[in-house]
């Protein structure tokens, strides 16, 4: 698994110029162009065999300016990194840490603010006991991922939607198309603003992808009239308003169709 986060260069920080806040989640571009807006790729190297890395992870390594890597990665992966790229070892073993987690977080931010493409290369999956969540939080605003699937047989939810309405950040709901009217109503009743941007994405990242956007108060009806079905993901929060700026998939789809 890999995730891409964009960090913002603020006043008085390292790097030149200002980075417009065009969002935090991004797709790997075909090529790397120097920018004051650095990117950090949190990449899982797999269980050991270097050939088990994802294609996107491998592409990010080949474009990296800096690779911050752990002890348990397949060492052959470093051969994929450009020769001029900086390699930083931050491996840990039980009771022996080369560098503290807080220092790793700061290191990622520092290089990204210098406009560099940074790969944080970790063994396994960075989000399964891999501290990837901590590193993502150091680089990005909060993201909460929950299931929208109704608990079988009792008509209730395990998810505390009332609490989620007050958390802030971005809310991502998996498997919630059929229950979206109930979910949105509970969020509204708990005080989440009716005009909060929302989107439902059906069959994301494949040529059949469909996306509808609206406000929280209207998104369920909008998805219904558009006949959006499973599998679909619902995103609620200010990041939805950036969808036109982050239309990487829509730009890529004509190329896929021509393959």
Over residues 188-223, the pLDDT tens digits come to 999 999 999 999 999 887 788 899 999 999 999 999
CATH topology of domain 2-139: Cobalt-precorrin-4 Transmethylase; domain 1 (3.40.1010)
Nearest to 41, CA basis, from 113, 139, 124:
139
Question: What angle, 0 to 180 degrees and rounded to 10, lies between the N-to-C axes of helices 101-113 and 132-139?
Answer: 40
What fold characterizes domain 143-250?
A: 3.30.950
Domain with CATH 3.30.950.10 in the chain: 143-250
Task: Find out whether 115 and 109 touch, Cβ atoms under 8 Å.
Answer: no
For the annotated catalytic residues, the residue numbers are 70, 92, 175
- What are the start and end residues of each CATH 3.40.1010.10 domain in the chain? 2-139
Give yes or no for residue 144 having a pLDDT over 80: yes
Q: Are 120 and 43 in contact (CB under 8 A)?
A: yes
Q: What band does 97 get if pLDDT is binned at 50, 70 and 90?
A: low
């Amino acid at each position: 698994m890999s995730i891409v986060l964009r960090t913002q260069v603020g006043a008085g920080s390292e790097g030149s110029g200002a980075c417009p806040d065009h969002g935090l989640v991004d797709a790997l571009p075909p090529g790397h162009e120097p920018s004051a807006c650095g990117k950090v790729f949190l990449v899982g190297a797999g269980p050991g065999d270097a050939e088990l890395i994802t294609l996107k992870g491998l592409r990010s390594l080949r474009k990296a300016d800096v690779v911050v890597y752990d002890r348990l990665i397949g060492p052959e992966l470093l051969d994929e990194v450009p020769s001029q790229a900086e390699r930083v070892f931050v491996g840990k073993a039980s009771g022996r840490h080369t560098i503290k987690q807080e220092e790793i977080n700061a290191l990622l931010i520092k290089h990204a603010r210098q406009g560099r493409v940074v790969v944080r290369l970790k063994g396994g999956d960075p989000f399964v006991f891999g501290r990837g969540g901590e590193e993502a939080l150091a680089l990005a605003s909060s993201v909460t991922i929950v299931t929208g699937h109704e608990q079988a047989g009792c008509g209730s939810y395990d998810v505390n939607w009332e609490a989620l309405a007050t958390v802030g950040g971005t809310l991502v709901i998996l498997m919630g198309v059929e229950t979206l009217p109930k979910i949105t109503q509970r969020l509204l009743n708990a005080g989440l603003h009716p005009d909060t941007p929302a989107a439902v994405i059906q069959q994301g990242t494949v040529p059949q992808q469909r996306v509808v956007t609206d406000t929280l108060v209207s998104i369920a009806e909008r998805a219904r009239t558009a006949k959006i079905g499973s599998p679909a993901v619902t995103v609620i929060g200010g990041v939805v308003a950036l969808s036109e700026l982050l239309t990487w998939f829509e730009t890529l789809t004509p190329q896929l169709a021509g393959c």
